Structure 1
């Protein structure tokens, strides 16, 4: 049954159905039109353009090479079946004048830059570049700009031709500007250079011309040239610079060796020094060759080598004199002309206040040059007098150089001195600059000489003034500084210092030097013995003046030390004494005091005269410190016992009393000191019981 009054209720569903039909039916049409349009544009050779569709309406975009191309694309697209309207949004590519392109190769890198007429051209050029040399990294391809203005002719062909030439070089450049191109670079070898020259002389790409061919021949280094005299003439070998140098060179050969036949084996190459200077150097070398039958001259870069045998001394002197007239900018690095023979073969290097003087003979020019280099390096800025000559008859050049340069290196550490040679003997003498230099030279001369030479040596320590020396004692041990005159006495002093200071560390920063006053070592020994008695102090020598300062362990020690130093110091020495008394440290515990005494006696022993009871001066320091330890326990008895096997009871008792007297003078009350048991031990009897308190056993 029809309800016609309610028909409008179905309208929304109908609208949705129509919209869906339009939407899903339109997309396939647009896709198909886009595909057909793309195929059409490729087919007509206008792939630069692209069409998109809104329904059946086309929107045309892209950059055209010309207005004709735009018209063509619009017309062709408008005739495509199914297209209703064409909206042209294309633009013209910019025109470039000049139309340029460049390909630059740097090893395994190739860079493209400039303009291309089309995407097709870009693609073909990229393909050619990638095939140029396997492994070459290509850059700049995406940055090639499409533009109008390409010259007539095969643009892709001329670019491919340029890339083929770059493939033959490790580094080079191909550039195109309108219809003119250039090739620059350097050939890796002579074969490639010849091939490139032949290529540019053959047929070039049509409609393009070669504006510049700037490919250099291989750069050789060093740039070698030589001329050798043979019985039948002169042989020229090596390289000759670019330009017109060959004719001038041949004229120089004819002038230097008149009438000689010339064999020319020279090859054109790059890498030569400036041609004008090079020709001057060649002229100089050929002038020397004229004096050397059978000789040879060589240029290597800016260095010159002369080899041969001088026919006589006059020729040798002339050749030797010519060494001082080498053309500016060039160096004579080897003068291997055999000189006259001398005997004996002597030479010398003397160092004086005015500079360095070289005398005698050297076995070769190279050997002399190495010696001069060593002298200049060892004595920069010092005036040099070179009187040395080249002669035959001496040691082998290498051995001579090694030995003499070694001697020069030692001479550099001497204030004044000399290195003298005679055949296979080398003598080195002089005074060292300072103590460190003397130690270095002394160590160097202790070993064998280079080259098997025999050594005569007379190298002395430096002379210093004022002559200073210091013994400084503190909580860290003993520091020895300043200078000492004799290595043997110094070693003995170190051994005694370790004994007197009861094994305390000894830091020795002193050095060997001349200039000490008479009896210096004896004065130092006396000062060391008294310094051992201080808790801290310094004995400083300034020439023959002794400044003795520090802190002593008890008051009486000040005058004792003064008296001992005054009596024992050599008469030429003066004394300046400045002593204070150290603060007394109270242990308060017999156990601690005994431990301190035992520790002292474990690190040192109390000595006496060989046959008597007199206490040795070297034991005063130990006894002073024992006394200081005993004073730390003022109420304790101090029992002294001498345990010296084989000693008579009388001697043992006398020695015990000597120790007792020393301690009493050091501030230990006499009623605290006991000497019982000494005689019993001396007779080998069993140990007697020792009284309670502190025990001092002398062994």
Structure 2
């Protein structure tokens, strides 16, 4: 027996080898089968985080569980798997994170992921969604996502994918998930994208998650515009942009305060790019304050500029609006003030000049027009106090026509000592007393031109008043000089024309000027003095108010008493006369030919006229006759033949007129026997040998 036992023992090693080989080759298929079925089981029960490793039929369970319940569930289900003998649980719990956060940050073509995920599966799905967000996107951080417990209830992967889809609509932005709260921020590229983002995020956020913050900025606009307009139905329409934050609520309160009870149509949309909100709201408050005064108005802001349009209902509102322009919010400017003033009828205005200064009254069509006229007042009346009582109103001429007309009137007013420019509708009148004669002439010349465009011109400008009222007629070798003042252009014209007629061949030098203050009968007195002055070789007739002084030298002695008598007879009542006349020396003797030449020259320059239908010589011809008498006296031996050939005189009247001349020349000292009035035909036609006949208005004088 001992020998058999020892023989059996010797065969044990070989047997053991056979057993090991048999067991090894039989376990491997069993372990693979159990592993495959365990993996399938974990997926089916939704616990793919767990993995089973087998040693024979004994399971080693590994992995990081999201909860203790998941560990128990996995152990239980794995223990029930056919073929499993023992389950050894080597799983651990993932660390819990509170809050459970996740973030995705986009910056152009880059997308960075950070935070926690509940599983590797979740990490993979999130990475796939990120990569599909946009062509060429570069995703970073997906491998650094930390698995952790604490994921909120609901579709975590779905809400992350939703957020990444929204980031695709912005060039840059961020989504953040904190437990069950979802936040998004960034800047929309345009208003369409902004609107789409806001609607989508607020209405399509996956269930079980709430929107904690929507901080997507709208596009930045420039200029940042805003407007408020009052409508025909009494409502107020708000349009343009409004800054981010709580500006809308404050703005609506301002509208209600400015236009109480008005229905508000809010068409504002949020936009970035506004000036600082506090200053912007102050500017809006200022603008709305003006809108409250304009029933049909509109106010607007563009950046830091303000515009106001509308029609003021009354002067109080317009004055308040105009005054508000001087109290603009700090940092803002008023670039347009197009407020129509109240309409008035009639539209009147005026500028008066008195001893105390210049006063502006009535209405002006615009602030700018009024400013231009005030500048014109300062230019035309330097240093003169100006009182501005003009109000701005509508209903008058266009502003440019009003400025042109009023400026034209001011130019004339500057030449007046006192006066006024007045406008009514389309009529402009200028009245007053000129500063001096030159000013009166300048005003009159200006007023005779075409009136300013669009206006009818009326004038009542008077010459200056002078005292004492002086006027002088001086006759000398250089001609006749008129100096001093005359009362009107018409009377001045009469005097000048009379001087040209009565002062035969004399050059008339007129340095007189127009002025008021002439004594009653002034022109008649001057005409009387002029007729007698024409009978002097040299002399002067000078008026000093109602006093006339005549000095000079007569052609012959017999003329002196005649001149004195005719002066005294012709002067109107109220004038006094002072006459001091000398007589020219007797002229040197000349022959008949020279005498004829002198008389001929006189008759070529002047005309001997008679009263119509009669034989009396007109007073205007006395000066010419006195000069003819002086010429005739220079040839005392010659005969002087007189004949009358005038259309209005028949033979009888012609003979009577010739006798009148004979008597006048005889009274002037010409011997009567030298004067012949024979009307024989031989006298009518002279032979070449005869002396040349002289004719003046049908009066023929032949010296023989």
What TM-score, normalized to structure 1?
Answer: 0.55
Question: How is 1:644-683 mapped onto 2 (pairs within 5 angstroms)?
Answer: 644=646, 647=649, 649-671=651-673, 673-678=674-679, 680=680
Listed one character per residue, the Cα deviations across residues 370-408 of structure 1 (whole Å, up to 9, x for unaligned) are: 111111111111111111111223322112211222222
**Equivalent of 2:631, from 629, 644, 650?**
629
Match of 1:308 in 2: 309
**Equivalent of 2:477, from 472, 475, 478?**
475
Partners of 2:533 and 2:541 within 8 A in 1: yes
User: CA separation in 2, counterparts of 1:416 and 1:384?
Assistant: 14
Assess, with a 3 A threshold, how the Cα gap between structure 1 residues 421 and 655 changes in structure 2: closer, same or farther.
Answer: closer
User: CA separation in 2, counterparts of 1:226 and 1:431?
Assistant: 59
Match of 2:366 in 1: 364
Assess, with a 3 A threshold, how the Cα gap between structure 1 residues 367 and 630 changes in structure 2: closer, same or farther.
Answer: same
Assess, with a 3 A threshold, how the Cα gap between structure 1 residues 538 and 233 changes in structure 2: closer, same or farther.
Answer: same
The runs of 5 or more residues in structure 2 that have no matched partner are 1-222, 229-237, 244-250, 258-265, 292-297
User: CA separation in 2, counterparts of 1:692 and 1:336?
Assistant: 93
User: CA separation in 1, counterparts of 2:408 and 2:684?
Assistant: 70
Question: How is 1:252-291 mapped onto 2 (pairs within 5 angstroms)?
Answer: 264=273, 289-291=287-289
**Equivalent of 1:619, from 611, 618, 621?**
621
Question: How is 1:183-582 mapped onto 2 (pairs within 5 angstroms)?
Answer: 229=227, 231-232=238-239, 264=273, 289-293=287-291, 294-295=298-299, 307-309=308-310, 313=314, 315-322=317-324, 335-582=337-584
SS of the residue corresponding to residue 635 of structure 1 reads coil
Partners of 1:497 and 1:506 within 8 A in 2: yes
Relative to structure 2, which stretch is displaced further, 253-262 or 604-613? 253-262
Assess, with a 3 A threshold, how the Cα gap between structure 1 residues 512 and 311 changes in structure 2: closer, same or farther.
Answer: closer
Assess, with a 3 A threshold, how the Cα gap between structure 1 residues 387 and 548 changes in structure 2: closer, same or farther.
Answer: same
Match of 1:596 in 2: 598
SS of the residue corresponding to residue 488 of structure 1 reads helix
Assess, with a 3 A threshold, how the Cα gap between structure 1 residues 371 and 427 changes in structure 2: closer, same or farther.
Answer: same
Assess, with a 3 A threshold, how the Cα gap between structure 1 residues 616 and 392 changes in structure 2: closer, same or farther.
Answer: closer
Partners of 1:638 and 1:693 within 8 A in 2: no
Match of 1:100 in 2: none
The runs of 5 or more residues in structure 1 that have no matched partner are 1-224, 237-252, 267-279
User: CA separation in 1, counterparts of 2:549 and 2:303?
Assistant: 71
Partners of 2:599 and 2:628 within 8 A in 1: yes
User: CA separation in 1, counterparts of 2:566 and 2:515?
Assistant: 28
Listed one character per residue, the Cα deviations across residues 243-268 of structure 1 (whole Å, up to 9, x for unaligned) are: xxxxxxxxxx99999999787589xx
Partners of 1:227 and 1:298 within 8 A in 2: yes
- Deviation (angstroms), 1:565: 0.3
SS of the residue corresponding to residue 436 of structure 1 reads helix
Q: How many residues align?
A: 439
User: CA separation in 2, counterparts of 1:621 and 1:644?
Assistant: 21
Assess, with a 3 A threshold, how the Cα gap between structure 1 residues 254 and 669 changes in structure 2: closer, same or farther.
Answer: farther
User: CA separation in 2, counterparts of 1:442 and 1:472?
Assistant: 28
- Deviation (angstroms), 1:529: 0.9
Assess, with a 3 A threshold, how the Cα gap between structure 1 residues 646 and 345 changes in structure 2: closer, same or farther.
Answer: closer
User: CA separation in 1, counterparts of 2:414 and 2:335?
Assistant: 25
Question: How is 1:123-134 mapped onto 2 (pairs within 5 angstroms)?
Answer: none
Listed one character per residue, the Cα deviations across residues 474-501 of structure 1 (whole Å, up to 9, x for unaligned) are: 2222222222223223222222211112
Partners of 2:564 and 2:579 within 8 A in 1: yes
Partners of 2:486 and 2:515 within 8 A in 1: yes
Partners of 1:358 and 1:388 within 8 A in 2: yes
Assess, with a 3 A threshold, how the Cα gap between structure 1 residues 561 and 414 changes in structure 2: closer, same or farther.
Answer: same
- Deviation (angstroms), 1:298: 9.9
User: CA separation in 2, counterparts of 1:527 and 1:344?
Assistant: 53
Partners of 1:309 and 1:337 within 8 A in 2: yes
Partners of 2:348 and 2:425 within 8 A in 1: yes
- Deviation (angstroms), 1:597: 0.5
SS of the residue corresponding to residue 590 of structure 2 reads coil
Partners of 2:413 and 2:421 within 8 A in 1: yes
Question: How is 1:120-199 mapped onto 2 (pairs within 5 angstroms)?
Answer: none
SS of the residue corresponding to residue 453 of structure 2 reads helix
User: CA separation in 1, counterparts of 2:678 and 2:512?
Assistant: 47
- Deviation (angstroms), 1:568: 0.8
Assess, with a 3 A threshold, how the Cα gap between structure 1 residues 655 and 393 changes in structure 2: closer, same or farther.
Answer: closer
Partners of 1:363 and 1:397 within 8 A in 2: yes
- Deviation (angstroms), 1:553: 0.9
Partners of 1:656 and 1:675 within 8 A in 2: no
- Deviation (angstroms), 1:528: 1.1
- Deviation (angstroms), 1:567: 0.5
Assess, with a 3 A threshold, how the Cα gap between structure 1 residues 385 and 590 changes in structure 2: closer, same or farther.
Answer: same
User: CA separation in 2, counterparts of 1:545 and 1:343?
Assistant: 54
